[in-house]
A and B are shown apart, each in its own frame.
Chain A
Amino acid sequence: MKLVTAVIKPFKLDDVKDALETFGVQGLTVGEVSGYGRQRGHTEVYRGAEYTVDFVPKVRLDVVVADDDAKDVVDVIVKAASTGQIGDGKVWTTPVDELVRVRTGERGSEAL
């Protein structure tokens, strides 16, 4: 199994969620995060004083999928989250050792 993690633009969340549902992903976890990449932050001006805002609001998604699906899920997210503009975000995968469904105690791919 693999954990697919994506950091995307907040307004792209609905598109990504719909695309993942269409692909057949059963669930995902979402959080509001902030950070920066090569895009960096932006500048604000108050009474002539310039402030650099380093951390830009983003949405982070986590979804656990079967090994065979991981590459396709990454592609689905990248396609749905892309605007072609700077600051679109990143997607990465991490190996997952163990997965348990809390209610039933099912383990491994049965818990997906």
Chain B
Amino acid sequence: MHIDAGDTAWVLGSAALVLFMTPGLALFYGGMVRSKNVLSIMIQNLACIAIVSVVWAVAAYSLAFGPDAGGGFIGTFHLAGLAHPEMAVPGLDLHVPPLAFAAFQMMFAVITAALLTGTGADRMHFNGFLALAALWTLVVYAPIAHWIFSPNGWLAQRGVLDFAGGNVVEVDSGASALALALVLGVRRGWPRETMAPHSLPLTVLGAGILWFGWFGFNAGSALGSGSLAAQALIGTQLAACAGVVGWLIVERWQTGHATTLGAASGAVCGLVAITPACGFVNSMAAIVIGLVGGVVGVLAVRVKFRFGYDDSLDVVGVHGACGLAGTLLVGAFATKAVNAHIAHEGFVTGGGGYLLGVQALALLVTIAWAFSGTWLLSQLVQRTIGLRVSNEVEVQGLDTAIHAESAYDFASMRAGQAGF
């Protein structure tokens, strides 16, 4: 195995960039909840880093990327506990140390589980979430990562393309979020009562950190520092920008206002949509995909009101719907001019309909596995240690009721008032 210094530096750096996305997500989501629940979001994201990283090292990495156990469905425990660190990752021609790859992929598992905090916001118990995150990483995330990210996976073998996780991260978390929202039930008073964001400046800062980290997420998925990483990075930037434009145009047309939350959400939608595609499509296709992401996102976040599921911070609408759109658009725009290693090009780029077909197959399988797996695990947690907080806790706010702290000292914030 040849180790390339430049490739290794970029993958190690990218691991750090992707890690930073989860505290970014904590800010992005924390700003969107009411002030009584902001710390519950923060600690759930921090604890998610802690627990999923350990679960990943102990077992989940091996299930996802270890030697295939047969049929491309799941890996064996051969790499459990990060054993055999000198052994090449099965199926991958890497020029980086296998542990650099394991660390990089660890951060993906972390943020994918962390996305679920957005759906459970305002009513999911800390203990229940931690149990769910650990089980979910093993039962839902690791198999799907094996099918698509490992070259030995049964979907990867059929030519499914997912450069950085449009399917494995985004659609996976979106479908899981829908199941979680159904098991948790709606928040007290939703959608009648006002549940407006308490601090959009936090949300904008969080979106900025996500955007920054996404360069590691997408361009790092080239697993090297060459021209493919550069194409993925520029495509990521262009899609994020097009996502902002797409969201704001539709929003301005629908409600009469371009909003700050819309701009931040549009950037994330563009980033989600380009995630599966950035290493397979050229820069102009990236603009189209980002624009579609922004438009799909702004329309998809309204769906919950029609069907009555309370996906608090729109994980289904933003990650599920935009990840789905991006995964299908790979089937339109993937080209060997960008990535010579792909077996099939998209239908716009002259490859016919095969790629679109297997992309759709991957979506269906991912949605089915993620939805049913998450539904069962959420029920299991709810019926054992409990997943939803009591009415009393929900009304008081999770910060003081569960964590015995508050984010803001309102009493002494007003000048001239006694702090009683």
**A residues near B, CB below 8 A?**
32, 44-53
Across the two chains, which residue of chain B brings its CB closest to A44? B196
With known contacts A32-B414, A46-B261, A51–B255 Cβ distance under 8 A: no
The answer to whether B197 touches A48, judged by C-beta atoms less than 8 angstroms apart, is no
The answer to whether A47 touches B305, judged by C-beta atoms less than 8 angstroms apart, is no
Across the two chains, which residue of chain B brings its CB closest to A52? B194
Number of A-B residue pairs with CB-CB distance less than 8 Å in the complex they form = 29
Task: Give the total of B residues in contact with A, Cβ under 8 Å.
Answer: 18
Which residues from B are CB-within-8-Å of A49?
191, 302, 305
With known contacts A32-B414, A51-B194, A45–B259 Cβ distance under 8 A: yes
B265 within 8 A of partner (CB): yes
With A46-B259, A47-B261, A48-B251 known, 8 other A-B pairs at CB within 8 A are A45-B257, A46-B261, A48-B254, A48-B298, A48-B302, A49-B191, A51-B194, A53-B194
The answer to whether B261 touches A50, judged by C-beta atoms less than 8 angstroms apart, is no
> What would be 21 A-B contacts, judged by CB atoms less than 8 Å apart?
A32-B414, A45-B255, A45-B259, A46-B196, A46-B197, A46-B259, A47-B262, A47-B298, A47-B314, A48-B251, A48-B254, A48-B255, A48-B298, A48-B301, A48-B302, A49-B191, A49-B305, A50-B255, A51-B196, A52-B194, A53-B194
Q: Is the interface of B mostly helix, strand, loop or mixed?
A: loop
Which residues from A are CB-within-8-Å of B265?
47
- Say how far A33's CB is from chain B's closest CB, in angstroms: 13
Which residues from A are CB-within-8-Å of B254?
48
- Say how far B211's CB is from chain A's closest CB, in angstroms: 18
- Say how far B311's CB is from chain A's closest CB, in angstroms: 11
Complex Cα distance A52/B197, Å?
14
**B residues near A, CB below 8 A?**
191, 194, 196-197, 251, 254-255, 257, 259, 261-262, 265, 298, 301-302, 305, 314, 414
Across the two chains, which residue of chain B brings its CB closest to A47? B301
- Say how far A111's CB is from chain B's closest CB, in angstroms: 24
Complex Cα distance A48/B302, Å?
7
Which residues from A are CB-within-8-Å of B302?
48-49
Which residues from A are CB-within-8-Å of B196?
44, 46, 51
- Say how far A59's CB is from chain B's closest CB, in angstroms: 13
Which residues from A are CB-within-8-Å of B259?
45-46
Which residues from B are CB-within-8-Å of A53?
194
The interface centre, meaning the residue of A44, A45, A48, A52 with most chain B CB atoms within 10 A of its CB, is A48
The interface centre, meaning the residue of B254, B255, B265 with most chain A CB atoms within 10 A of its CB, is B255
Complex Cα distance A45/B258, Å?
10
Instruction: Report, nearest first, the 3 A-B pairs whose CB atoms are least far apart.
Output: A51-B194, A47-B301, A45-B255
Which residues from A are CB-within-8-Å of B262?
47
Across the two chains, which residue of chain A brings its CB closest to B265? A47
Across the two chains, which residue of chain B brings its CB closest to A30? B416
- Say how far B296's CB is from chain A's closest CB, in angstroms: 13
The interface centre, meaning the residue of A45, A46, A47, A52 with most chain B CB atoms within 10 A of its CB, is A47
Complex Cα distance A50/B194, Å?
9
Which residues from A are CB-within-8-Å of B194?
51-53
Complex Cα distance A67/B2, Å?
96
Complex Cα distance A46/B247, Å?
13
Complex Cα distance A50/B302, Å?
11
Which residues from B are CB-within-8-Å of A48?
251, 254-255, 298, 301-302
